[in-house]
Amino acid sequence: MNYRALACLALCCSSLLQSLRAAERVITIDTPMSPPGWALMERALLRENAAACEEYYRKYFDERGFLLCVERWGGDDGPDDAMENCNDWPILHALGASDAVLEMYLKAWEGHLRQFTLAKTTEVPFARDGMYYKEFPVMMDWLHNGEGLTVFSLQGLSTPSDRAMQRRLRRFAGLYMNEDPQAPNYDPQHKIIRSLFNGSRGPLLRKATALDWTGDPIEVENRFSLGHGERTYAEMLAHFKDYNDIVGDHPSNLLATSLALNAYMLNHDAKYKNWLLEYVDAWRQRMRDNQGIIPTNIGLDGAIGGATEGKWWGGVYGWGFTVVVPQTGGLAHRSTFQLGFIGFMNAFAVTGDDAYLEPWRRMLDVVNSHQKKVDGQTVYPHKHGDDGWYNFQPQPYAPFALELYYLSMKETDRKWMSGSAWLDYLEGKNPDFPEQALAADFARLRQRVEGMRSDPTTPDTRLSDDPMKFNPASITSLNHLMQGGLHPGHRGATLFSRLRYFDPVRRRAGIPPDVAALVDRMTDNEVAVTLVNTSQVTAREVVVQGGAYAEHQFLSVTDQTKTTPVNSPVITVKLQPGAGQRLVLKMQRHQRQPTLQFPWNR
Protein backbone atom coordinates (compact mmCIF):
# COMPACT_ATOMS: atom_id res chain seq x y z
CA MET A 1 0.00 0.00 0.00
CA ASN A 2 1.37 3.43 -0.95
CA TYR A 3 0.76 5.40 2.26
CA ARG A 4 2.40 8.53 0.82
CA ALA A 5 -0.08 8.49 -2.06
CA LEU A 6 -2.96 7.96 0.35
CA ALA A 7 -1.76 10.85 2.50
CA CYS A 8 -1.51 13.06 -0.58
CA LEU A 9 -5.03 12.04 -1.63
CA ALA A 10 -6.37 12.79 1.84
CA LEU A 11 -4.73 16.22 1.79
CA CYS A 12 -6.20 16.97 -1.63
CA CYS A 13 -9.66 15.86 -0.49
CA SER A 14 -9.36 18.00 2.63
CA SER A 15 -8.35 21.01 0.55
CA LEU A 16 -11.20 20.38 -1.86
CA LEU A 17 -13.68 20.12 1.01
CA GLN A 18 -12.41 23.38 2.48
CA SER A 19 -12.75 25.04 -0.91
CA LEU A 20 -16.31 23.80 -1.27
CA ARG A 21 -17.19 25.04 2.18
CA ALA A 22 -15.66 28.40 1.39
CA ALA A 23 -17.68 28.56 -1.82
CA GLU A 24 -20.90 27.82 0.06
CA ARG A 25 -21.01 31.11 1.94
CA VAL A 26 -22.47 31.24 5.44
CA ILE A 27 -24.66 34.24 6.20
CA THR A 28 -25.65 34.99 9.79
CA ILE A 29 -28.85 36.92 10.45
CA ASP A 30 -29.28 38.38 13.92
CA THR A 31 -31.49 41.40 13.20
CA PRO A 32 -34.62 41.14 15.39
CA MET A 33 -37.87 40.75 13.43
CA SER A 34 -41.22 40.09 15.02
CA PRO A 35 -42.87 37.28 13.02
CA PRO A 36 -44.86 38.88 10.18
CA GLY A 37 -48.38 37.68 9.51
CA TRP A 38 -47.35 35.96 6.29
CA ALA A 39 -44.63 34.01 8.16
CA LEU A 40 -47.03 32.68 10.77
CA MET A 41 -49.54 31.81 8.05
CA GLU A 42 -46.92 29.88 6.06
CA ARG A 43 -45.96 27.82 9.08
CA ALA A 44 -49.62 27.15 9.91
CA LEU A 45 -50.47 26.21 6.31
CA LEU A 46 -47.61 23.71 6.18
CA ARG A 47 -48.84 22.17 9.41
CA GLU A 48 -52.54 22.10 8.51
CA ASN A 49 -51.86 20.70 5.04
CA ALA A 50 -50.01 17.76 6.57
CA ALA A 51 -52.74 17.08 9.14
CA ALA A 52 -55.44 17.16 6.47
CA CYS A 53 -53.45 14.81 4.21
CA GLU A 54 -53.15 12.31 7.07
CA GLU A 55 -56.92 12.30 7.55
CA TYR A 56 -57.48 11.97 3.79
CA TYR A 57 -55.05 9.07 3.54
CA ARG A 58 -56.76 7.20 6.39
CA LYS A 59 -60.13 7.53 4.64
CA TYR A 60 -59.19 6.59 1.08
CA PHE A 61 -56.18 4.23 1.31
CA ASP A 62 -55.72 0.91 3.09
CA GLU A 63 -52.74 -0.48 5.00
CA ARG A 64 -51.12 -1.71 1.75
CA GLY A 65 -51.29 1.73 0.14
CA PHE A 66 -54.11 0.57 -2.17
CA LEU A 67 -56.74 3.15 -3.10
CA LEU A 68 -60.16 2.08 -1.87
CA CYS A 69 -62.06 2.20 -5.15
CA VAL A 70 -63.35 0.15 -8.06
CA GLU A 71 -60.30 -0.52 -10.23
CA ARG A 72 -60.83 0.20 -13.91
CA TRP A 73 -58.90 0.84 -17.08
CA GLY A 74 -59.88 3.84 -19.14
CA GLY A 75 -59.60 7.49 -20.06
CA ASP A 76 -62.41 8.48 -17.68
CA ASP A 77 -61.33 6.81 -14.46
CA GLY A 78 -58.19 4.78 -15.04
CA PRO A 79 -55.07 3.93 -13.05
CA ASP A 80 -53.60 7.38 -13.69
CA ASP A 81 -56.39 8.98 -11.66
CA ALA A 82 -55.72 6.70 -8.73
CA MET A 83 -52.24 8.07 -8.07
CA GLU A 84 -53.37 11.61 -8.76
CA ASN A 85 -55.13 11.50 -5.43
CA CYS A 86 -51.73 12.37 -3.91
CA ASN A 87 -51.00 15.25 -6.28
CA ASP A 88 -48.92 18.07 -4.78
CA TRP A 89 -47.85 15.97 -1.79
CA PRO A 90 -44.22 15.79 -3.03
CA ILE A 91 -44.05 19.58 -3.30
CA LEU A 92 -45.70 19.94 0.10
CA HIS A 93 -43.02 17.79 1.71
CA ALA A 94 -40.20 19.44 -0.24
CA LEU A 95 -41.41 22.81 1.06
CA GLY A 96 -40.97 21.61 4.64
CA ALA A 97 -44.12 19.76 5.71
CA SER A 98 -44.02 16.78 8.06
CA ASP A 99 -42.19 13.59 7.05
CA ALA A 100 -45.55 11.86 7.44
CA VAL A 101 -46.51 13.37 4.06
CA LEU A 102 -43.50 11.73 2.41
CA GLU A 103 -44.16 8.39 4.09
CA MET A 104 -47.80 8.39 2.97
CA TYR A 105 -47.26 9.21 -0.68
CA LEU A 106 -44.38 6.75 -0.96
CA LYS A 107 -46.57 4.01 0.50
CA ALA A 108 -49.40 5.02 -1.83
CA TRP A 109 -47.02 4.85 -4.82
CA GLU A 110 -45.80 1.37 -3.94
CA GLY A 111 -49.37 0.27 -3.34
CA HIS A 112 -50.48 1.85 -6.60
CA LEU A 113 -47.90 -0.05 -8.64
CA ARG A 114 -48.93 -3.33 -7.03
CA GLN A 115 -52.67 -2.63 -7.19
CA PHE A 116 -52.77 -1.85 -10.90
CA THR A 117 -50.34 -4.58 -11.86
CA LEU A 118 -52.81 -7.00 -10.28
CA ALA A 119 -55.84 -5.25 -11.81
CA LYS A 120 -56.72 -6.69 -15.21
CA THR A 121 -59.24 -6.03 -17.95
CA THR A 122 -61.52 -8.66 -19.41
CA GLU A 123 -62.29 -7.02 -22.77
CA VAL A 124 -59.67 -4.33 -23.42
CA PRO A 125 -57.06 -6.46 -25.19
CA PHE A 126 -53.75 -4.92 -24.16
CA ALA A 127 -54.47 -4.79 -20.39
CA ARG A 128 -55.76 -8.33 -19.86
CA ASP A 129 -52.53 -9.36 -18.15
CA GLY A 130 -52.40 -6.25 -16.00
CA MET A 131 -53.04 -2.54 -16.42
CA TYR A 132 -49.43 -1.95 -15.41
CA TYR A 133 -46.51 -3.99 -16.66
CA LYS A 134 -42.98 -3.50 -15.37
CA GLU A 135 -44.49 -0.91 -13.02
CA PHE A 136 -45.60 1.30 -15.93
CA PRO A 137 -48.88 1.72 -17.87
CA VAL A 138 -49.09 -0.87 -20.64
CA MET A 139 -50.05 1.72 -23.26
CA MET A 140 -51.96 4.98 -23.05
CA ASP A 141 -51.66 8.55 -24.24
CA TRP A 142 -49.42 10.99 -22.36
CA LEU A 143 -52.27 13.13 -21.07
CA HIS A 144 -53.02 10.11 -18.91
CA ASN A 145 -49.51 8.66 -18.55
CA GLY A 146 -48.36 12.05 -17.32
CA GLU A 147 -51.18 12.30 -14.82
CA GLY A 148 -50.30 8.93 -13.34
CA LEU A 149 -46.61 9.88 -13.07
CA THR A 150 -47.12 13.32 -11.51
CA VAL A 151 -46.26 12.21 -7.99
CA PHE A 152 -43.36 9.98 -9.03
CA SER A 153 -41.80 12.67 -11.24
CA LEU A 154 -41.43 14.90 -8.18
CA GLN A 155 -40.30 12.24 -5.69
CA GLY A 156 -36.65 13.11 -6.36
CA LEU A 157 -37.18 16.45 -4.63
CA SER A 158 -37.15 14.57 -1.33
CA THR A 159 -35.56 11.13 -1.93
CA PRO A 160 -32.82 11.49 -4.57
CA SER A 161 -30.83 8.57 -3.15
CA ASP A 162 -33.73 6.11 -3.11
CA ARG A 163 -32.49 3.07 -5.05
CA ALA A 164 -35.94 1.91 -6.15
CA MET A 165 -36.73 5.36 -7.53
CA GLN A 166 -33.42 5.48 -9.37
CA ARG A 167 -34.00 2.07 -10.96
CA ARG A 168 -37.49 3.07 -12.03
CA LEU A 169 -36.39 6.37 -13.48
CA ARG A 170 -33.81 4.64 -15.66
CA ARG A 171 -36.18 1.85 -16.66
CA PHE A 172 -39.06 4.20 -17.47
CA ALA A 173 -36.82 6.53 -19.50
CA GLY A 174 -35.43 3.47 -21.28
CA LEU A 175 -38.92 2.62 -22.54
CA TYR A 176 -38.55 5.62 -24.86
CA MET A 177 -34.95 4.97 -25.82
CA ASN A 178 -35.53 1.43 -27.14
CA GLU A 179 -33.67 -0.14 -24.23
CA ASP A 180 -36.53 -2.60 -23.71
CA PRO A 181 -37.16 -4.95 -26.68
CA GLN A 182 -40.78 -5.36 -25.56
CA ALA A 183 -41.40 -1.64 -25.88
CA PRO A 184 -40.22 -0.33 -29.28
CA ASN A 185 -41.86 3.05 -28.72
CA TYR A 186 -39.21 5.18 -30.42
CA ASP A 187 -38.08 5.25 -34.03
CA PRO A 188 -34.56 6.74 -33.98
CA GLN A 189 -34.47 7.10 -37.77
CA HIS A 190 -37.49 9.40 -37.96
CA LYS A 191 -37.13 10.56 -34.35
CA ILE A 192 -40.73 9.81 -33.49
CA ILE A 193 -42.63 8.08 -30.74
CA ARG A 194 -44.67 5.84 -32.96
CA SER A 195 -48.15 6.20 -31.51
CA LEU A 196 -50.25 8.39 -29.24
CA PHE A 197 -50.79 5.16 -27.23
CA ASN A 198 -47.46 3.96 -25.83
CA GLY A 199 -46.01 2.42 -22.70
CA SER A 200 -44.35 -0.67 -21.28
CA ARG A 201 -45.87 -2.94 -23.94
CA GLY A 202 -44.90 -0.60 -26.75
CA PRO A 203 -46.95 1.48 -29.19
CA LEU A 204 -50.46 0.71 -30.40
CA LEU A 205 -50.10 0.68 -34.20
CA ARG A 206 -53.75 0.44 -35.22
CA LYS A 207 -56.71 2.75 -34.92
CA ALA A 208 -57.98 2.92 -31.37
CA THR A 209 -61.53 1.88 -30.51
CA ALA A 210 -63.97 3.33 -28.04
CA LEU A 211 -63.40 0.21 -25.92
CA ASP A 212 -59.65 0.88 -25.78
CA TRP A 213 -60.37 4.28 -24.27
CA THR A 214 -63.46 3.48 -22.20
CA GLY A 215 -62.49 0.24 -20.50
CA ASP A 216 -64.62 -2.76 -19.65
CA PRO A 217 -68.41 -2.49 -19.27
CA ILE A 218 -69.55 -1.06 -15.97
CA GLU A 219 -72.79 -0.33 -14.15
CA VAL A 220 -73.24 3.45 -14.01
CA GLU A 221 -76.73 4.68 -13.14
CA ASN A 222 -77.41 5.11 -9.41
CA ARG A 223 -73.92 3.84 -8.61
CA PHE A 224 -71.26 6.16 -10.04
CA SER A 225 -71.05 9.82 -10.94
CA LEU A 226 -68.77 10.13 -13.95
CA GLY A 227 -66.50 13.10 -14.45
CA HIS A 228 -67.74 13.86 -17.97
CA GLY A 229 -71.39 13.45 -16.99
CA GLU A 230 -72.10 10.19 -18.81
CA ARG A 231 -75.18 8.43 -17.47
CA THR A 232 -74.64 4.97 -18.98
CA TYR A 233 -71.83 2.80 -20.27
CA ALA A 234 -73.22 3.36 -23.77
CA GLU A 235 -72.64 7.10 -23.31
CA MET A 236 -69.13 6.36 -22.10
CA LEU A 237 -68.46 4.50 -25.36
CA ALA A 238 -70.06 7.31 -27.34
CA HIS A 239 -67.78 9.80 -25.61
CA PHE A 240 -64.77 8.06 -27.13
CA LYS A 241 -66.22 6.88 -30.45
CA ASP A 242 -64.15 9.37 -32.50
CA TYR A 243 -60.89 8.81 -30.62
CA ASN A 244 -59.46 6.69 -33.43
CA ASP A 245 -56.47 8.30 -35.16
CA ILE A 246 -53.63 7.57 -32.77
CA VAL A 247 -50.97 6.06 -35.06
CA GLY A 248 -47.90 8.25 -35.41
CA ASP A 249 -46.32 10.88 -33.19
CA HIS A 250 -48.19 13.58 -31.29
CA PRO A 251 -46.83 16.61 -29.38
CA SER A 252 -48.13 15.34 -26.04
CA ASN A 253 -45.53 12.57 -26.32
CA LEU A 254 -42.99 15.28 -25.50
CA LEU A 255 -44.08 14.74 -21.90
CA ALA A 256 -41.97 11.57 -21.98
CA THR A 257 -38.89 13.82 -21.87
CA SER A 258 -39.60 14.45 -18.18
CA LEU A 259 -38.56 10.84 -17.56
CA ALA A 260 -35.26 11.43 -19.38
CA LEU A 261 -34.72 14.70 -17.51
CA ASN A 262 -35.22 13.03 -14.14
CA ALA A 263 -32.94 10.15 -15.10
CA TYR A 264 -30.29 12.61 -16.30
CA MET A 265 -30.45 14.51 -13.00
CA LEU A 266 -29.44 11.38 -11.07
CA ASN A 267 -25.78 11.43 -12.16
CA HIS A 268 -25.66 13.29 -15.50
CA ASP A 269 -25.50 10.22 -17.72
CA ALA A 270 -25.25 11.94 -21.12
CA LYS A 271 -27.45 9.47 -22.99
CA TYR A 272 -30.59 10.84 -21.32
CA LYS A 273 -29.78 14.44 -22.15
CA ASN A 274 -28.82 13.47 -25.70
CA TRP A 275 -32.11 11.67 -26.31
CA LEU A 276 -34.13 14.49 -24.76
CA LEU A 277 -32.52 17.10 -27.02
CA GLU A 278 -32.69 14.85 -30.09
CA TYR A 279 -36.43 14.39 -29.67
CA VAL A 280 -37.18 18.05 -28.88
CA ASP A 281 -34.96 19.18 -31.78
CA ALA A 282 -37.01 16.99 -34.11
CA TRP A 283 -40.17 18.75 -33.00
CA ARG A 284 -38.49 22.15 -33.40
CA GLN A 285 -37.75 21.27 -37.00
CA ARG A 286 -41.32 20.14 -37.59
CA MET A 287 -42.57 23.50 -36.36
CA ARG A 288 -40.21 25.27 -38.77
CA ASP A 289 -41.43 23.06 -41.59
CA ASN A 290 -45.07 23.81 -40.69
CA GLN A 291 -44.88 27.60 -40.82
CA GLY A 292 -44.19 27.90 -37.10
CA ILE A 293 -47.13 25.81 -35.87
CA ILE A 294 -46.69 22.52 -34.08
CA PRO A 295 -48.34 19.75 -36.13
CA THR A 296 -50.47 17.21 -34.29
CA ASN A 297 -49.69 14.14 -36.34
CA ILE A 298 -46.39 12.80 -37.64
CA GLY A 299 -46.77 9.63 -39.66
CA LEU A 300 -44.68 6.52 -39.25
CA ASP A 301 -42.70 7.72 -42.25
CA GLY A 302 -41.81 10.92 -40.40
CA ALA A 303 -44.03 13.07 -42.62
CA ILE A 304 -46.22 15.81 -41.15
CA GLY A 305 -49.80 14.51 -41.24
CA GLY A 306 -48.49 11.21 -42.54
CA ALA A 307 -51.16 9.14 -40.77
CA THR A 308 -54.00 11.67 -41.17
CA GLU A 309 -54.25 12.19 -44.93
CA GLY A 310 -51.60 14.88 -44.88
CA LYS A 311 -53.48 17.09 -42.41
CA TRP A 312 -51.08 18.70 -39.95
CA TRP A 313 -54.06 19.46 -37.73
CA GLY A 314 -55.27 15.85 -37.69
CA GLY A 315 -55.36 13.12 -35.08
CA VAL A 316 -56.88 12.55 -31.68
CA TYR A 317 -56.41 15.60 -29.43
CA GLY A 318 -55.13 17.52 -32.47
CA TRP A 319 -55.74 21.07 -33.66
CA GLY A 320 -58.93 19.95 -35.37
CA PHE A 321 -60.21 17.51 -32.74
CA THR A 322 -63.78 18.61 -31.95
CA VAL A 323 -66.28 15.95 -30.89
CA VAL A 324 -69.93 15.61 -29.94
CA VAL A 325 -70.86 15.31 -26.25
CA PRO A 326 -73.23 12.30 -26.28
CA GLN A 327 -75.47 13.32 -23.38
CA THR A 328 -76.07 16.87 -24.66
CA GLY A 329 -75.37 16.83 -28.40
CA GLY A 330 -73.12 19.85 -27.99
CA LEU A 331 -69.59 20.22 -29.32
CA ALA A 332 -66.44 19.87 -27.20
CA HIS A 333 -63.06 21.17 -28.36
CA ARG A 334 -60.43 18.78 -27.00
CA SER A 335 -56.71 19.18 -27.53
CA THR A 336 -53.62 18.11 -25.64
CA PHE A 337 -50.91 19.12 -28.10
CA GLN A 338 -50.16 22.25 -26.06
CA LEU A 339 -48.69 19.97 -23.37
CA GLY A 340 -45.75 19.52 -25.73
CA PHE A 341 -44.31 22.79 -24.44
CA ILE A 342 -43.22 20.89 -21.33
CA GLY A 343 -40.72 19.09 -23.55
CA PHE A 344 -39.31 22.44 -24.66
CA MET A 345 -39.12 23.49 -21.00
CA ASN A 346 -37.15 20.34 -20.24
CA ALA A 347 -34.72 21.11 -23.06
CA PHE A 348 -34.32 24.62 -21.69
CA ALA A 349 -33.64 23.16 -18.23
CA VAL A 350 -30.52 21.33 -19.45
CA THR A 351 -29.26 24.00 -21.85
CA GLY A 352 -30.49 27.41 -20.70
CA ASP A 353 -30.80 28.10 -24.43
CA ASP A 354 -33.56 30.52 -25.45
CA ALA A 355 -33.68 28.75 -28.82
CA TYR A 356 -35.90 26.16 -27.09
CA LEU A 357 -38.40 28.87 -26.14
CA GLU A 358 -38.42 30.66 -29.50
CA PRO A 359 -40.62 28.12 -31.36
CA TRP A 360 -43.44 28.52 -28.82
CA ARG A 361 -43.06 32.30 -28.83
CA ARG A 362 -43.35 32.33 -32.61
CA MET A 363 -46.32 29.96 -32.64
CA LEU A 364 -48.34 32.19 -30.31
CA ASP A 365 -47.62 35.10 -32.64
CA VAL A 366 -48.61 33.12 -35.74
CA VAL A 367 -51.88 31.77 -34.32
CA ASN A 368 -52.96 35.11 -32.86
CA SER A 369 -52.14 36.87 -36.13
CA HIS A 370 -55.32 35.27 -37.47
CA GLN A 371 -57.45 37.41 -35.14
CA LYS A 372 -60.50 39.13 -36.55
CA LYS A 373 -63.22 41.57 -35.54
CA VAL A 374 -66.69 40.30 -34.70
CA ASP A 375 -69.26 42.92 -33.72
CA GLY A 376 -66.44 45.31 -32.94
CA GLN A 377 -64.64 42.86 -30.66
CA THR A 378 -61.27 41.26 -31.43
CA VAL A 379 -61.41 37.48 -31.26
CA TYR A 380 -58.63 34.93 -31.65
CA PRO A 381 -58.63 31.38 -33.09
CA HIS A 382 -57.97 28.41 -30.83
CA LYS A 383 -58.52 25.55 -33.29
CA HIS A 384 -57.77 24.67 -36.92
CA GLY A 385 -59.62 22.18 -39.10
CA ASP A 386 -60.42 21.32 -42.68
CA ASP A 387 -62.02 24.74 -43.19
CA GLY A 388 -59.25 26.72 -41.55
CA TRP A 389 -59.15 28.52 -38.21
CA TYR A 390 -62.15 28.28 -35.89
CA ASN A 391 -63.28 28.44 -32.26
CA PHE A 392 -62.61 32.16 -32.05
CA GLN A 393 -62.59 33.53 -28.51
CA PRO A 394 -62.07 36.99 -26.93
CA GLN A 395 -58.95 35.73 -25.18
CA PRO A 396 -55.72 35.34 -27.18
CA TYR A 397 -54.45 31.84 -27.81
CA ALA A 398 -51.83 31.63 -25.07
CA PRO A 399 -51.21 28.18 -23.53
CA PHE A 400 -48.13 28.21 -21.27
CA ALA A 401 -47.67 31.97 -21.69
CA LEU A 402 -46.85 32.31 -17.99
CA GLU A 403 -44.27 29.53 -18.20
CA LEU A 404 -42.70 31.10 -21.30
CA TYR A 405 -42.29 34.45 -19.55
CA TYR A 406 -41.08 32.84 -16.31
CA LEU A 407 -38.28 31.04 -18.14
CA SER A 408 -37.24 33.84 -20.46
CA MET A 409 -37.90 36.81 -18.14
CA LYS A 410 -38.31 38.86 -21.32
CA GLU A 411 -40.92 41.57 -21.10
CA THR A 412 -41.90 40.90 -24.72
CA ASP A 413 -43.11 37.44 -23.68
CA ARG A 414 -45.85 38.95 -21.50
CA LYS A 415 -47.92 40.30 -24.36
CA TRP A 416 -50.25 37.31 -24.68
CA MET A 417 -50.63 36.78 -20.93
CA SER A 418 -53.77 37.51 -18.98
CA GLY A 419 -53.45 39.12 -15.57
CA SER A 420 -51.41 37.51 -12.81
CA ALA A 421 -51.78 38.71 -9.23
CA TRP A 422 -48.53 36.93 -8.36
CA LEU A 423 -46.52 38.73 -11.07
CA ASP A 424 -48.15 42.02 -10.09
CA TYR A 425 -46.93 41.49 -6.53
CA LEU A 426 -43.40 40.71 -7.70
CA GLU A 427 -43.46 44.03 -9.54
CA GLY A 428 -44.30 45.97 -6.40
CA LYS A 429 -48.10 46.04 -6.64
CA ASN A 430 -50.57 44.90 -3.97
CA PRO A 431 -48.38 44.45 -0.88
CA ASP A 432 -51.23 42.49 0.75
CA PHE A 433 -50.98 39.70 -1.84
CA PRO A 434 -49.03 37.23 0.34
CA GLU A 435 -51.62 37.10 3.10
CA GLN A 436 -54.48 37.13 0.58
CA ALA A 437 -53.00 34.20 -1.34
CA LEU A 438 -52.31 32.22 1.81
CA ALA A 439 -55.83 32.91 3.09
CA ALA A 440 -57.24 31.57 -0.20
CA ASP A 441 -55.30 28.33 0.26
CA PHE A 442 -56.57 28.04 3.84
CA ALA A 443 -60.12 28.38 2.51
CA ARG A 444 -59.47 25.78 -0.17
CA LEU A 445 -58.05 23.35 2.37
CA ARG A 446 -61.02 23.86 4.70
CA GLN A 447 -63.54 23.29 1.90
CA ARG A 448 -61.82 20.10 0.81
CA VAL A 449 -61.72 18.69 4.32
CA GLU A 450 -65.42 19.46 4.70
CA GLY A 451 -66.12 17.71 1.40
CA MET A 452 -64.04 14.68 2.38
CA ARG A 453 -65.84 14.33 5.72
CA SER A 454 -69.26 14.46 4.06
CA ASP A 455 -68.35 12.18 1.10
CA PRO A 456 -70.98 9.41 1.07
CA THR A 457 -69.18 7.05 -1.34
CA THR A 458 -68.03 3.60 -0.33
CA PRO A 459 -65.19 1.62 -1.94
CA ASP A 460 -67.64 -0.19 -4.23
CA THR A 461 -69.35 3.03 -5.37
CA ARG A 462 -66.15 5.03 -5.76
CA LEU A 463 -64.11 5.37 -8.95
CA SER A 464 -60.43 6.17 -8.87
CA ASP A 465 -60.91 9.86 -9.65
CA ASP A 466 -63.70 10.48 -7.13
CA PRO A 467 -61.53 11.39 -4.10
CA MET A 468 -59.41 13.81 -6.15
CA LYS A 469 -61.78 16.70 -5.58
CA PHE A 470 -61.13 16.34 -1.85
CA ASN A 471 -57.33 16.09 -1.97
CA PRO A 472 -56.52 18.77 0.63
CA ALA A 473 -52.94 19.59 -0.41
CA SER A 474 -53.03 23.35 -1.05
CA ILE A 475 -49.54 24.51 -2.01
CA THR A 476 -49.89 27.11 -4.76
CA SER A 477 -49.35 30.11 -2.50
CA LEU A 478 -46.51 28.43 -0.60
CA ASN A 479 -44.75 27.54 -3.85
CA HIS A 480 -45.09 31.07 -5.24
CA LEU A 481 -44.20 32.92 -2.06
CA MET A 482 -41.51 30.73 -0.53
CA GLN A 483 -39.69 29.52 -3.63
CA GLY A 484 -40.70 31.83 -6.45
CA GLY A 485 -41.85 28.62 -8.08
CA LEU A 486 -44.13 27.67 -10.96
CA HIS A 487 -46.74 25.05 -10.26
CA PRO A 488 -45.67 22.09 -12.46
CA GLY A 489 -49.22 21.05 -13.21
CA HIS A 490 -50.37 17.45 -13.12
CA ARG A 491 -48.79 15.96 -16.23
CA GLY A 492 -45.62 14.37 -14.87
CA ALA A 493 -43.47 17.50 -15.20
CA THR A 494 -40.59 18.54 -12.97
CA LEU A 495 -40.43 21.67 -10.82
CA PHE A 496 -39.17 25.08 -11.87
CA SER A 497 -38.45 27.44 -8.99
CA ARG A 498 -36.07 30.28 -8.33
CA LEU A 499 -35.11 28.99 -4.86
CA ARG A 500 -35.33 25.82 -2.79
CA TYR A 501 -34.55 25.10 0.87
CA PHE A 502 -32.89 22.30 2.81
CA ASP A 503 -32.62 21.53 6.50
CA PRO A 504 -28.94 20.68 7.19
CA VAL A 505 -29.70 19.56 10.75
CA ARG A 506 -32.38 17.00 9.85
CA ARG A 507 -30.64 16.29 6.51
CA ARG A 508 -33.81 16.59 4.49
CA ALA A 509 -35.44 18.74 1.82
CA GLY A 510 -37.61 21.61 2.97
CA ILE A 511 -37.36 24.68 5.11
CA PRO A 512 -36.47 23.96 8.77
CA PRO A 513 -39.00 24.24 11.61
CA ASP A 514 -40.00 27.80 12.55
CA VAL A 515 -38.43 29.33 9.43
CA ALA A 516 -40.50 31.17 6.81
CA ALA A 517 -39.52 32.72 3.49
CA LEU A 518 -41.03 35.36 1.23
CA VAL A 519 -39.85 36.03 -2.32
CA ASP A 520 -41.00 39.56 -3.16
CA ARG A 521 -39.08 40.34 -6.35
CA MET A 522 -37.58 38.42 -9.29
CA THR A 523 -35.71 39.64 -12.33
CA ASP A 524 -33.59 37.86 -14.90
CA ASN A 525 -30.52 37.98 -12.64
CA GLU A 526 -31.80 38.68 -9.16
CA VAL A 527 -34.20 37.44 -6.51
CA ALA A 528 -35.11 39.11 -3.20
CA VAL A 529 -36.21 36.94 -0.28
CA THR A 530 -36.98 37.64 3.36
CA LEU A 531 -36.04 34.85 5.76
CA VAL A 532 -37.38 34.92 9.31
CA ASN A 533 -37.06 32.63 12.32
CA THR A 534 -40.42 32.70 14.07
CA SER A 535 -38.98 30.93 17.12
CA GLN A 536 -37.91 33.33 19.84
CA VAL A 537 -35.83 30.76 21.69
CA THR A 538 -34.15 28.45 19.13
CA ALA A 539 -31.64 29.34 16.42
CA ARG A 540 -32.20 27.76 13.00
CA GLU A 541 -30.01 27.03 9.99
CA VAL A 542 -31.23 26.76 6.39
CA VAL A 543 -29.48 25.97 3.12
CA VAL A 544 -30.81 28.14 0.30
CA GLN A 545 -30.35 26.73 -3.20
CA GLY A 546 -30.55 28.47 -6.56
CA GLY A 547 -33.28 26.69 -8.49
CA ALA A 548 -35.29 23.56 -7.89
CA TYR A 549 -32.32 21.43 -8.98
CA ALA A 550 -29.34 23.74 -8.32
CA GLU A 551 -29.41 24.98 -11.91
CA HIS A 552 -28.83 28.62 -10.88
CA GLN A 553 -25.53 30.04 -9.65
CA PHE A 554 -25.51 32.65 -6.89
CA LEU A 555 -22.99 35.43 -7.51
CA SER A 556 -23.50 37.54 -4.41
CA VAL A 557 -25.83 38.17 -1.50
CA THR A 558 -26.65 41.66 -0.23
CA ASP A 559 -28.19 42.42 3.16
CA GLN A 560 -28.86 45.79 4.77
CA THR A 561 -25.20 46.61 5.23
CA LYS A 562 -22.98 44.76 2.81
CA THR A 563 -22.58 42.61 -0.30
CA THR A 564 -20.85 39.25 0.01
CA PRO A 565 -19.47 37.37 -3.01
CA VAL A 566 -20.79 33.81 -3.27
CA ASN A 567 -20.16 32.02 -6.62
CA SER A 568 -22.03 28.90 -5.56
CA PRO A 569 -25.44 27.30 -6.16
CA VAL A 570 -26.10 27.34 -2.40
CA ILE A 571 -25.67 29.53 0.64
CA THR A 572 -26.14 28.62 4.29
CA VAL A 573 -28.10 31.06 6.42
CA LYS A 574 -27.96 30.98 10.21
CA LEU A 575 -30.94 32.63 11.82
CA GLN A 576 -30.71 33.64 15.45
CA PRO A 577 -33.86 33.36 17.62
CA GLY A 578 -36.48 35.88 16.52
CA ALA A 579 -34.27 37.17 13.70
CA GLY A 580 -35.10 37.97 10.11
CA GLN A 581 -33.83 39.92 7.15
CA ARG A 582 -34.37 40.60 3.46
CA LEU A 583 -31.58 39.30 1.21
CA VAL A 584 -30.98 40.22 -2.41
CA LEU A 585 -29.34 37.39 -4.33
CA LYS A 586 -27.58 38.09 -7.60
CA MET A 587 -27.54 35.02 -9.83
CA GLN A 588 -26.88 33.59 -13.23
CA ARG A 589 -29.86 31.45 -14.15
CA HIS A 590 -29.49 28.05 -15.81
CA GLN A 591 -25.70 28.12 -15.61
CA ARG A 592 -25.39 24.66 -14.10
CA GLN A 593 -26.59 21.21 -15.04
CA PRO A 594 -29.62 20.39 -12.89
CA THR A 595 -29.21 17.68 -10.26
CA LEU A 596 -31.44 15.78 -7.87
CA GLN A 597 -28.67 15.39 -5.31
CA PHE A 598 -28.86 17.23 -1.99
CA PRO A 599 -26.22 19.95 -1.44
CA TRP A 600 -24.19 17.87 1.02
CA ASN A 601 -24.05 14.86 -1.32
CA ARG A 602 -22.62 16.59 -4.40
Residue 335 has pLDDT above 50, yes or no: yes
Residues 6+ apart with CB under 8 A from 5: none
- Report which of residues 18 and 361 the model is more confident about: 361
At 290-313, the pLDDT tens digits run 999 999 999 999 999 999 999 999
pLDDT at 282 exceeding the cut of 60:
yes
Residue 24, pLDDT score: 55
Kindly state the DSSP code that residue 124 receives in the 8-state scheme: S
Q: What is the 3-state secondary structure (H, E, C) of 140-192?
A: ECHHHHHHHCHHHHCHHHCCCCCHHHHHHHHHHHHCCCCCCCCCCCEECCCCE
Alpha-carbon distance values, 295 to 12, 248, 385, 580 (Å):
55, 12, 12, 51
pLDDT, tens digit, for every residue of 219-273? 999 999 888 889 999 999 999 999 999 999 999 999 999 999 999 999 999 999 9
Rounded Cα gap, residues 142 and 492, in angstroms: 9
Residue 5 pLDDT greater than 70, yes or no = no
- How far is residue 87's CA from residue 359's CA, in Å, rounded to a whole number? 30
pLDDT of residue 21 exceeding 50, the answer is no
What pLDDT does residue 23 have? Answer: 44
CB 240 within 8 A of CB 75: yes
- Helix, strand and coil content of the chain, in percent to the nearest 5, comes to 40, 15, 40
Strand order in 540-546's β-sheet? 26-29, 570-575, 540-546, 499-503, 508-509
Length of the chain: 602
Percent of residues, the chain, with pLDDT higher than 90:
94
Taking 60 as the threshold, does the pLDDT of residue 180 lie above it?
Answer: yes
Q: CA quadruple 142, 146, 148, 152: dihedral positive or negative?
A: positive
Mean pLDDT score, 36-59 = 98
* pLDDT given at position 6: 41
Read off the pLDDT of each residue in 6-19 and give the average, rounded to a whole number: 41
What's the CA gap between 495 and 485, in Å, rounded?
8
pTM over cut 0.85: yes
pLDDT of residue 8 exceeding 50, the answer is: no
Residue-wise pLDDT for 204-216, tens only, equals 999 999 999 999 9
Q: What is the DSSP string of 328-357?
A: T--EEE---GGGGHHHHHHHHHHH--GGGT
pLDDT at 560: 86
Q: Which residues make Cβ contacts (< 8 Å) with residue 11, sequence separation at least 6?
A: none
| pLDDT for the residue 368 | 98
| pLDDT, the chain, mean | 95
